[in-house]
Structure formats: structure tokens, C-alpha cells
């Protein structure tokens, strides 16, 4: 469900924005609201599974996710949709870490790599369905249909889980760190809100103060976790160098991935004028590459270790982000977006499953839920903050570029473009006369392409830094869970 939901919602955002007459900041919160609660509470979700049963918490997460999806579909305005997405994030924070923890508890180390590779393959398959199904549903029916598809899926999952999945838990698990979860949620919420405020073309000084408040709360979160008797992040888990390096790698690379997959659909639909279905199909080569190779890639760690797959994968992915920066406006898909998507697909195919396997093998088996939760939280936080931070890059670059666009635009229209956020590559709905709207849309698209280029260059840099980190700091072969447990003792 998260795989379909994530890709389908992103493709639908440009249409959703127009239908609900939402501003760029509110549109951004449709993604950020979900990511915020998943990021902040996924650690709580992992610990709840360890304590009360992974199967039980997984089922609860599926039910919440399905009910919230129905709420999203029935939303009448952008505020209701954002609230429903927050609840959906709570469900995701339960079902995502438990799905991987159930697999880790069900397979020994020899079979675990292939099992996780299969898990990654099914995730890739649903991600492949998401853009195509989402684009078709939006184009044929409504953006609301992309949320409704989660309801029957949730029902099927509940039936299968009750019949086929055994319960597992950590018998030594203690309480749940609710204080840490609350502080993390508020801290990440403040950081996200502050960075989005800084995207305002007219300047928003309060954004800096809000970001600083968020950073202060993050420092408080670290202090609370260090002194808590029952932390949701067992700090001892970071005594494994491979676990620590893998999470730094995740933070950098998934920041780039999260930002790219958010901004590419806006480019395709608002700037390149693809239909929603065509925009969804444009991403298909990457996801098919991941699906075909994920099981093979999942076993690489057992054969050659984690260092080379993660290094090569991040480097190739960085080349894909760099290629996105040269797509421009217009031109054939096959010479603009296709090469970038294929490079990104090859890179992701190489690093996704080995990264997950390395994270899970470098943590003790009894902390499978916490390890899964930490790594998932890192990946979600990376995307959450990257969209907001790189959004500043896009807004600043696009507004600088709009000052150098076609000077035949009337001064009043140019003023409207310069005084409103071009975060989504779309000219504002108000203040532009109908007869000048085509020219204004063209100018906004050209300016957005410049901001998009700069953001993709930043993504490439993040990917290459992660490749260097993997090559320099990861051990040649992944630590096993048994070895890591011994280091704990």
C-alpha cells in the first residue's frame, strides 16, 4: 500500500492542486504531512511491534492506513486531505517497519538476503503499478480514486495476515518511548514548516526562527534518548560501524531520491505538458529494472559484501540525477528523461536490496523492529526535509530565472510571477489575464526548469557523497546479526 500510494499520489499532485485550488505550500503538505508522521513515529511503531507483537501491530497499521485512505478520498478541501494524510502516516508508521521485521524474524541469515530481495521486488512491483494506475485513474476518473484503491487492498492484507503470518516479538522488550515520539514529531514538524516558509518568494523571516526551534528540539530529543531507560532508539545499536554508516548513506541518498520523485512529476505535467498517464509511464523503466534485479541484488551482500554494490549503485544513481539536470524544456522523452530514469533505475537496483540487507544483518535479531524502524525513519526524514530544503533551491533559482525570461510579458504579469512561488512550475491562478496566460505559463515553465536543474545537481552531489562514504567506511563484508549481538554483549 505505501508503494502504490507514494508513487500514485506524487503523479496526481499537479491535478489535485488544480482541482482543490491549493497553493504550492498546501500542495507540498499533501506529501509532507504523511512523511512527517511516518518519519517521527516509525521508531515507535518498530518498538511497539517488538513489545506487543509484530503481526498485531502490522494489522493495526493496515486498518488505520485503509481507513485514512477512505478519508483522503472523501476530502472536500485541501485541509481535510492534509489531516487524513496525517492519520495515514500513523498507519504507515506501524505497517512499514513491521513488514520487514516479520520477514527478519521468519528467515535465518542464509535465506534472509533473498527474502528481503523478494520483499524489495514486490515493493518495486507495486511502485510500478502506482504511477500507471494512478495516472490512469486520475485521467479517467479523479485523483480521489488513487486513495480508494487502498481500501480493498487493506481488506485482502488483513485476511491473508490473519491466516498465514505467525506472531513474533522481542521477549525482552520493555516500555514505549512516547515522550521521544512526541518530541520527534514536533521537531520534524517545525523544521518542515520552517523550510517551507523560507520558500516564500516574498521572504518569510519567521522561517529561520522556526527552523532554529526545530533544531533545538532535535537536540532535546537526543538528550532524552540518551537518558531514557526505555528509548525508542537503543543507542547501543550504533556500536556497529556498518549500521551507522548504512544509515548515513540512507540519509544522503534517500534525500536525493525523495526530492527527485517529488519534483519530476511537476516537471513532466506542468512544464513538459505530459498527461498524468504519460507522466506515470515515464517512470516505469526505473521501477521495472528494480523489480527484475531486486532478488539477485539482495543476495550480493552474502557473496561479495556491501561496499561495492552500495558504492557503485550510489555513483550510477548520481549520474542519473545529473542527467535529469539537462532535460530542459521540450524535446523527445527518449533523449531527455529516459536516459536519466534508466541510470537511476540501474543505480537503485544495485543499492536498494543490499542496503536493507546490510542494515538488518548489522543489528541483533532481537532488535529487528528497532533496526528496521531506525532505517525507515532515516529514509523518511531524508525525503521529508529534502523536499522542503531543495524547494528553497527551486524557488530561488526559478525566481532569478524569471527575471530573464521573455521581456514581452506585461509588467503586471511579470510582477505576479515574481511575487508568487513557482515551486510547482505553474503560473498562479489569480492576477493573470486570460489572453496572457499561455505566455505566463511558458515563462513559469522555463524558470522552473532552471530551478529543477539546480535541485537535481544538488541531488547528484548527495548521491556521490554517499558513494564515497560507503567505499571508505563500510567493511568489506557485512557483519552478521550474530556478530553484532556479540559486540553488544
User: pLDDT at position 203, please?
Assistant: 55
User: pLDDT at position 478, please?
Assistant: 44
Closest CA to 125 of 286, 282, 9: 286
CA gap 185, 126 in Å, rounded: 28
User: pLDDT at position 480, please?
Assistant: 46
136's grid cell: 490512469
How far does Cα 476 stand from its chain's mean position? 28
CA gap 300, 293 in Å, rounded: 11
Q: How many CB atoms lie within 10 A of CB 151?
A: 15
Q: Assess contact for 380 and 38: CB atoms under 8 A.
A: yes
User: pLDDT at position 366, please?
Assistant: 65
User: pLDDT at position 332, please?
Assistant: 92
User: pLDDT at position 466, please?
Assistant: 96
Cβ-Cβ contacts under 8 Å for 138 (sequence gap 6 or more): 11, 12, 15, 145, 146, 276, 277
CA quadruple 238, 239, 241, 243: dihedral sign: negative
Each residue's pLDDT, cut to its tens digit, for the chain (489 residues) gives: 887 777 788 888 888 988 898 888 888 999 999 989 988 888 888 778 878 888 999 999 999 999 999 999 999 999 999 999 999 999 998 888 888 888 878 887 778 777 877 877 677 667 667 778 888 888 899 999 999 989 999 999 999 999 988 888 776 666 778 888 899 899 999 999 899 888 875 556 788 899 999 999 999 998 888 888 778 777 778 888 888 999 999 999 999 999 998 899 899 999 999 998 898 889 888 877 877 776 676 667 677 778 899 999 999 999 999 999 999 888 899 999 999 999 999 998 888 878 888 887 887 766 666 777 788 789 889 998 999 999 999 988 988 888 776 666 777 777 788 777 678 888 777 778 878 888 888 888 888 999 999 999 999 999 999 999 999 998 755 444 444 444 333
Closest CA to 5 of 79, 78, 68, 77: 68
CA gap 91, 124 in Å, rounded: 20
Domain positions in the chain: 2-176+232-405+440-488, 177-231
Q: Assess contact for 21 and 72: CB atoms under 8 A.
A: no
DSSP states of 8-60 as a string?
A: HHHHHHHHHHHHTT--HHHHHHHHHHHHHHHHHHHHHHHHHHHHH-HHHHHHH
User: pLDDT at position 422, please?
Assistant: 78
User: pLDDT at position 483, please?
Assistant: 47
CA gap 402, 427 in Å, rounded: 11
Q: Assess contact for 135 and 280: CB atoms under 8 A.
A: yes
Length of the chain: 489
CATH of domain 2-176+232-405+440-488: 1.20.1250.20
Amino acid at each position: 500500500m505505501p508503494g502504490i500510494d507514494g508513487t500514485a499520489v506524487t503523479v496526481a499532485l499537479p491535478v489535485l492542486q488544480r482541482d482543490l485550488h491549493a497553493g504550492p505550500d498546501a500542495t507540498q503538505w499533501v506529501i509532507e504531512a504523511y512523511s512527517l508522521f511516518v518519519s517521527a513515529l516509525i521508531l515507535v511503531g518498530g518498538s511497539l511491534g517488538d513489545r506487543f507483537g509484530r503481526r498485531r501491530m502490522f494489522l493495526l497499521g493496515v486498518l488505520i492506513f485503509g481507513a485514512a485512505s477512505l478519508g483522503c478520498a472523501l476530502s472536500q478541501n485541501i485541509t481535510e486531505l492534509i489531516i487524513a494524510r496525517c492519520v495515514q502516516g500513523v498507519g504507515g508508521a506501524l505497517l512499514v517497519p513491521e513488514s520487514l521485521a516479520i520477514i527478519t524474524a521468519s528467515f535465518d541469515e542464509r535465506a534472509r538476503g533473498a527474502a528481503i530481495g523478494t520483499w524489495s521486488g514486490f515493493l518495486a512491483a507495486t511502485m510500478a503499478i502506482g504511477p500507471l494506475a494512478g495516472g490512469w485513474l486520475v485521467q479517467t476518473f479523479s485523483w480521489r480514486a488513487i486513495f480508494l484503491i487502498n481500501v480493498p487492498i487493506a481488506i485482502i492484507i488483513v485476511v491473508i495476515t490473519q491466516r498465514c503470518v505467525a506472531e513474533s516479538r522481542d521477549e525482552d522488550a520493555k516500555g514505549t518511548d512516547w515522550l521521544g515520539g512526541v518530541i520527534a514529531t514536533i521537531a520534524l514538524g517545525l523544521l518542515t514548516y520552517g523550510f517551507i516558509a523560507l520558500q516564500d518568494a516574498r521572504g518569510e523571516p519567521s522561517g529561520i526562527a522556526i527552523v532554529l526551534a526545530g533544531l533545538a528540539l532535535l537536540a532535546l530529543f537526543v538528550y532524552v534518548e540518551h537518558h531514557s531507560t526505555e528509548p525508542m532508539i537503543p543507542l547501543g545499536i550504533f556500536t556497529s560501524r556498518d549500521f551507522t554508516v548504512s544509515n548515513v548513506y540512507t540519509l544522503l541518498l534517500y534525500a536525493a531520491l525523495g526530492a527527485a520523485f517529488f519534483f519530476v512529476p511537476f516537471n513532466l505535467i506542468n512544464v513538459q505538458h505530459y498527461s498524468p498517464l504519460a507522466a506515470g509511464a515515464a517512470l516505469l523503466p526505473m521501477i521495472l529494472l528494480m523489480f527484475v534485479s531486486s532478488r539477485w541484488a539482495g543476495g550480493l551482500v552474502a557473496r561479495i559484501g556491501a561496499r561495492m554494490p552500495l558504492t557503485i549503485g550510489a555513483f550510477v544513481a548520481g549520474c542519473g540525477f545529473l542527467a535529469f539536470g539537462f532535460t530542459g524544456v521540450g524535446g523527445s522523452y527518449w533523449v531527455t528523461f529516459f536516459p536519466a530514469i534508466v541510470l537511476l533505475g540501474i543505480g537503485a537496483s544495485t543499492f536498494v536490496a543490499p542496503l536493507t540487507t546490510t542494515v538488518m544483518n548489522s543489528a541483533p535479531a532481537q532488535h529487528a523492529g528497532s533496526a528496521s524502524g531506525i532505517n525507515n525513519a532515516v529514509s523518511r526524514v531524508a525525503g521529508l526535509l529534502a523536499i522542503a530544503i531543495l524547494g528553497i533551491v527551486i524557488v530561488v533559482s526559478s525566481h532569478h530565472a524569471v527575471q530573464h525570461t521573455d521581456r514581452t510579458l506585461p509588467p503586471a504579469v511579470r510582477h505576479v510571477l515574481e511575487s508568487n512561488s513557482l515551486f510547482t512550475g505553474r503560473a498562479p491562478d489569480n492576477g493573470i489575464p486570460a489572453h496572457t496566460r499561455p505566455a505566463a505559463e511558458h515563462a513559469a515553465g522555463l524558470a522552473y526548469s532552471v530551478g529543477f536543474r539546480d535541485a537535481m545537481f544538488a541531488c547528484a552531489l548527495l548521491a556521490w557523497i554517499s558513494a564515497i562514504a560507503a567505499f571508505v567506511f563500510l567493511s568489506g563484508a557485512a557483519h552478521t546479526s550474530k556478530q553484532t549481538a556479540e559486540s553488544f554483549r
